Structure formats: C-alpha cells, structure tokens
Amino acid sequence: MSNLELPVLGPDDAASCCSPMVREPLGEQAAADLAKMFKALSDPVRLRLLSLIASHEGGEACVCDLTGPFDVSQPTISHHLKVLREAGLVGSERRGTWVYYWVLPAALAKLSSLLRAPVGAAPAASGGVS
C-alpha cells in the first residue's frame, strides 16, 4: 500500500468536492462513474467483502482472509474483488503469493457526499425506509 497521506475533509470541504445530487444535477460522466460504483455494491457478496476489508485490522486484508466467511469458491471471491477494484472502490497489491486489498477512502467519500442530505432537510412525510 502506498504511504501517501490523504487529506481529511471537513463537512464544508466535502460539499465543495462533490455536490450532493439534491443541489446540482449529475453530469453524464459523473453519473456513469458513480453508477459503476453503485452497481459493484449492489451485490451482497461484494458489499460484505468491502465491509470485511474496511473493518479488517490495519485497514487492509489478504485475499486469504476473505474467502472463509462466504459459501462461494475462491475464484468467485477473486471475481468479486476484481469488480470492486475496477469500480474504483478498493486498491490492491501483490505481496509474494498473496494479494492484499484496502478500501479507497476517496471513493467512499464520493459516494457518501452524493447521498448526503442537505443540512436542515425535512424527512419525507411518508413512504420512507426505516
């Protein structure tokens, strides 16, 4: 994993980085990029993999640590990890015979800032998900 430091964004910085869709319509390219990320996360196995990687001690996980919790084959896990990597949600690095994965904070920040409700927004009157 790289030793680059990522800046920590405050609430005001995140808003200037990526406007939530309630304030500004998405452009065509931004929508395509975000759709790829959301599509990758729409699979329960990939969503769980992302969660396992993010919560793993040290912030990165060896592929050998990711196969046990699932009732699918190792090649299937590798395919799901490839989809997450190609969507820009995780980074990876080969170390010897193993590949290590980590979540890319900028990708999560992009997704969360898009979905963040504006401050002071009133909740929906009905039909909301709880």
pTM of the predicted model over 0.85: no
Task: Tell which residue, 40, 28, 23, has the closest CA to residue 104.
Answer: 40
Q: What is the pLDDT of residue 26?
A: 82
Task: Tell which residue, 22, 78, 2, has the closest CA to residue 45.
Answer: 78
Q: What is the pLDDT of residue 112?
A: 86
Residue 18, number of CB atoms within 10 A of its CB = 20
Q: What is the pLDDT of residue 121?
A: 59
Low pLDDT (below 50) residues in the chain: 1-2, 4, 11-16
